[in-house]
Amino acid sequence: MKYLSVLAATFLLLASVAGALHATGQAAASTSATAAPVAINPLYTMPPTSVTAEQIASMQQQLSDWPQLGRYRDDNAQLPAPAPGEARVVFFGDSITDAWGRAKGTRFFPGKPYINRGISGQTTAQMLLRFRQDVIGLKPAAAVILAGTNDIAGNTGLATLPMIEDNYRSMTELAQANHIRVILASVLPVSDYPWHPGLQPASKVRALNAWLKSYAASSGATYLDYYSALSNAQGGMDSRLASDGVHPTPAGYTIMAPLAQQAIERTLAK
């Protein structure tokens, strides 16, 4: 139990450091949004004495492969190089990408040379660390990057909008340096997170999407606007499109698919 307490205390210290960085980042933020509750995984700020053995085990598992490079390592090794003339496209993201074609009732671009490299729960910081393995190494013509909502939810700690923007910049620059065209997808609308309620994320989503659109224009990337087609008056998604308000239903993906295809075609035609 002493070991568990030490590990829990380590997480608490990391959360405190993240909090200090967050305060510094907010003071110099280049992007602003309406003030909202601070987003950080509650597990990271619990008193060490209240953390259960199961929660410690979960944190240990996360730390053992924080970017989750093991998820697609074998699949990538078995994937052949793109055929001559084939325009491979990697969809890179979190659970919204991960579930596309894997959740019941969804289809992932049948007949297209598109590859799904989404991992549920991931933040842009984790995605940046696996970008070389799961995107660059697959030698695609283009990559569709959809991320950021888990950062706003605080899944892996505090993340200011400028921190999220920096991760997007790094992924874009890595892709372009390797002759991969970039499609930056808007963050999907969300008015609340079921696993971390009360964060009032809608304004932050709008602010991040405004930055993504501007950055895409200045960097030569393509902006893929899912948000406008899915958003309701509250800045979230209706239950028909996302039963939990976050993850698209088959009807939601049906709206997203042609938008993604159009963005891919525009991008490859450049």
For 61, the token pair is: 């598992």
pLDDT in tens, 240-265: 999 999 999 999 999 999 999 999 99
- Output the domain CATH number for residue 254: 3.40.50.1110
Alpha-carbon span 95 to 118, nearest angstrom: 6
Range(s) of the domain holding residue 123? 2-268
pLDDT in tens, 57-100: 877 777 788 999 999 999 999 999 999 999 999 999 999 999 99
Percent of the chain topping pLDDT 90: 76
Residue 270: CB atoms within 10 A of its CB come to 8
Range name among 39-43, 174-178, 238-242, 249-253 with the lowest pLDDT average: 39-43
Q: Report yes or no: 161 and 25 within 8 Å, Cβ to Cβ.
A: no
For 170, the token pair is: 């790094």
Alpha-carbon span 155 to 121, nearest angstrom: 7
pLDDT for 35: 55
pLDDT for 172: 98
The structure's pTM equals 0.84
> Residue 26 pLDDT more than 70?
no
pLDDT in tens, 178-231: 999 999 999 999 999 999 999 999 999 999 999 999 999 999 999 999 999 999
Total structural domains in the chain?
Answer: 1
Task: For the chain, give the mean pLDDT.
Answer: 88
State the alpha helices, DSSP H only, in 153-249: 161-177, 202-219, 227-230
**Predicted confidence band at 154 (pLDDT cuts at 50, 70, 90)?**
very high
Alpha-carbon span 46 to 36, nearest angstrom: 21
Question: Which conformational region is residue 128 in: left (phi greater than 0), alpha (psi within -120 to 50 degrees), or beta?
Answer: alpha
Residue whose entry in the numeric block shows the structure tokens 């993340």: 159
Range name among 20-29, 35-44, 202-211 with the lowest pLDDT average: 20-29
Q: Which of 145, 154, 149, 106 is nearest to 127 (CA)?
A: 145
> Residue 18 pLDDT more than 50?
no
More confident residue, 170 or 270: 170
